[in-house]
Amino acid sequence: MIDDRPDCSILLIDDEPFAQDIIAHGLKGCVRHSLCYESSAARAVEVARAVAATVVLVDLRMPGLDGFEVTALLRAHPDTEDVPVIVLSSEDNPEIKARAFAAGANDYLVKWPDPRELVARVRYHSGACIARRERDAAFASLRVSQEQLAASQSALHQAQKMEAIGQLTGGVAHDFNNVLQIIGGNLQLLKLVGNLNDSARARVDMALTGVERGAKLAAHLLAFARRQPLQSVVVDPGHLLRDMDDMMRRVLGPSAQVFTEIEPGLGSTTVDPDQLNNVLLNLAINARDAMGGNGTLKIRAANVDASTGASATLPPEVTQGDYVMIEVADTGKGMPQEVLLRAFEPFFTTKPTGQGTGLGLSMAYGFVKQSGGEIVLRSEIGQGTSVRIYLPRSDAAPTVLEPIHSLPLAGGLETILVVGDEDAVRDSTSAILSALGYEVLEAPDAAVAIDIIESGRHVDLVFSDVIMPGPVTSLQLGEVVRKRLPQAKLLYTSGYAEGLLSHEGKVDASVHLLQKPYHPDALSARIRHLLRSPRHPRAAATGDKSAGRAHLGLM
């Protein structure tokens, strides 16, 4: 006989041990069943839960608790309230039967029932119990699925909203940077050649301060939009955190405590160290404000390793993998749920007007996403806030970074080709370079620049915008420069280097990029640095000293 129905888990409660033998004999025809005997009526609920009973047979007359009371106990417990109960009794009395059903019994059998009837009743009630459990499990699973679907839809909606905001802010930042470059460039040119008196120079400096503030705002917008060109290298985040320790303590103030915990053997990660530094500093400032200058800030860095199973502790927002996790946690006042849901949106802030831009967390969000990682925010009212950054771990050795030295404004006598479609930006930049002594050539797009190069004009450096209209891209211009002018240097500039120079937002190490809006000091320093090393092959081969001429004595 083949029976593919679910197993029956039968619990018999009777104070007479021989009852077990009688019931076991009667159930011989019931395949795929298990029978558990219990003589103590007081343990009915405990044993029923332990054996996951699908039907309980209980004797009516027992010392202590009788069958009515056992049935009532089973019905009173949430884990056994739906388990079918069959009362066994030697009394074939309608009143007793009615009382048993009133107590919650599902069936009533007079001792000792025919085996065929016993098997049929047990099978029927057990099957109903299993079907009910399967139905409840299905409904619970459906409820979980619906909750997960709702959560996924909410996450998708949030991601789409963030992406739409990112595209908008990225485009705005691009145009904003060009406007700032026009304003800043002309103001700097005015300072350089305008013979200003002290009052006028002070006014120009005030205007330039506004340009710098605008530049920082645009940089934050680009960071959120994941459109900032990242100068990513392999870094040791533990070393970076140790270097920042003193700065963090100064930011938090003397009334707050700072604890830094770095796991031994912390891995490396590929990231822009300056941007990571800015993100951590912004998180520390947010923590300070949330704690009101008091409290404890804990900075923790650890490996999260998928191969050892540690990734099982990853939050659902983070895909499985090997990460370096950096956590910044404070003991501040925390955030309510409605604030937590909007915390990464640009310009959203809970601080009073004038005390916060609402760009700190949005900048962190964009930077981490652009770096291939995830950022997870957790907070509860009165329990503080935790920000965890998960960055993909790298097996490569950390890059040794060369120190950057600030140089004074410097010029030269070389020839520079300035390429850009924004007339006002190109004109102001060319005027600054001319004032520094350079011979300047101008091109409104890459095609005209190629014509100038093909004409045979000597060019020492090409300074080109990244995004320009026309049939020729800035990258194609770069290929022509490398082919036709191998001795020339190539410096790009952009306020929005999307799609051309960046691979996943990371600038290749061989690409030299100056972000808009740039200061004349930064422009001159980058140009002098590129023109200094290596020496021009033409000069080295011919001994032509003109290729390395002095540049206003400001080397």
DSSP conformation letters of 216-285: HHHHHHHHHTT-SPB--EEE-HHHHHHHHHHHHHHHH-TTEEEEEEE-TTPPEEEE-HHHHHHHHHHHHH
pLDDT over threshold 60, residue 141: yes
Summarize the confidence of residues 411-439 as an average pLDDT: 89
Angstrom distance (rounded) from CA 83 to CA 81: 6
Name the residue with higher pLDDT: 163 or 90.
90
The tokens of 191 are what? 């300072």
Mean pLDDT score, 305-309: 62
What pLDDT, on the 0 to 100 scale, is given for residue 494? 79
| Residue 64: per-residue pLDDT | 85
pLDDT at 157 over 50: yes
Which of 310-319, 393-402, 433-442 is predicted with the least confidence, judged by mean pLDDT? 310-319
Of the listed ranges 220-234, 258-272, 303-317, 471-485, the one predicted with least confidence: 220-234
State the Cα–Cα distance between residues 275 and 280, nearest whole angstrom.
9
| Greater pLDDT, 271 or 217 | 271
Q: How are beta strands 256-262 and 323-330 bridged, if at all?
A: unpaired
Contact (CB, 8 A) for 520 and 435: no
DSSP assignment string, 51-96: TT-SEEEEESS-SSS-HHHHHHHHHHSTTTTTS-EEEEES---HHH
Instruction: Give the closest residue to 332 by CA, choosing from 298, 376, 287, 388.
Output: 287
What pLDDT was estimated at residue 229?
Answer: 59
Q: Show Cβ contacts of residue 277 under 8 Å, excluding neighbours closer than 6 positions.
A: 240, 244
**Tokens 């057990």, residue located:** 126
The percent of residues above 70 in pLDDT, for the chain, comes to 80
Token reading at 522:
């930064």
Determine which helix (DSSP H) or strand (DSSP E) holds 379, and give its type and residue range: strand 374-380
Which of 302-316, 447-461, 511-525 is predicted with the least confidence, judged by mean pLDDT? 302-316
Q: Within 13 Å, how many C-alpha atoms sit on residue 277's CB side?
A: 16
- Average pLDDT in the 387-409 region? 74
What does the pLDDT look like over 3-25, one tens digit per residue? 444 578 899 999 888 888 888 88
* Structural domains of the chain sorted by starting position, each given as residue range(s) with its CATH number in brackets: 8-113 (3.40.50.2300), 137-223 (1.10.287), 237-306+320-394 (3.30.565.10), 415-532 (3.40.50.2300)
Top pLDDT among 307 and 403 is at 307
Task: Quote the CA–CA distance of 285 and 364 in Å, as a whole number.
Answer: 13
pLDDT mean over 258-282: 87
Q: For residue 547, is pLDDT > 50?
A: no
Residue 479's H or E segment, with its range, is: helix 474-484
Tell me the C-alpha distance between 459 and 439, whole Å: 9
Is residue 2 pLDDT above 60, yes or no? no
Distance in angstroms (rounded) separating the CA atoms of residues 266 and 485? 45
Contacts of 488 (CB under 8 A, 6+ apart): 459, 460, 461, 462, 481
- 341 phi and psi angles, rounded to 5 deg: -65, -25
Instruction: Report how far residue 446's alpha carbon sits from residue 173's, in angstroms, rounded to the nearest whole number.
Output: 23
User: Which has the closest alpha carbon to 227: 184, 269, 268, 177?
Assistant: 177
Amino acid, single-letter form, for residue 251: V
pTM of the model: 0.48
For 119-131, write each residue's pLDDT tens digit.
Answer: 888 989 988 898 8
On the question of pLDDT at 101 being above 60, the answer is: yes
35 and 23 in contact (C-beta within 8 Å)?
yes
Would the pLDDT of 506 be above 70?
no
Nearest to 57 by CA among 96, 94, 26: 26
For the stretch 238-246, contacts whose Cβ atoms lie closer than 8 Å and that sit 24 or more positions apart, written own/partner, are 238/262, 238/266, 238/301, 239/398, 240/273, 240/276, 240/277, 241/280, 241/299, 241/301, 241/326, 244/277, 244/280, 244/281
- Whether the pLDDT of residue 351 is over 50: the answer is yes
Provide the pLDDT for residue 161: 65
**Residue whose C-alpha is closest to residue 256's, from 297, 212, 210:** 297
Give yes or no for a contact between 375 and 369, defined as CB atoms under 8 angstroms apart. Answer: yes
Q: What is the mean pLDDT of residues 30-53?
A: 88
Peptide bond into 534 cis (omega under 30): yes
Q: Which residue in 398, 377, 278, 361 sits closest to 329, CA to CA?
A: 377
The C-alpha atoms of residue 180 and residue 178 are separated, in whole angstroms, by: 5
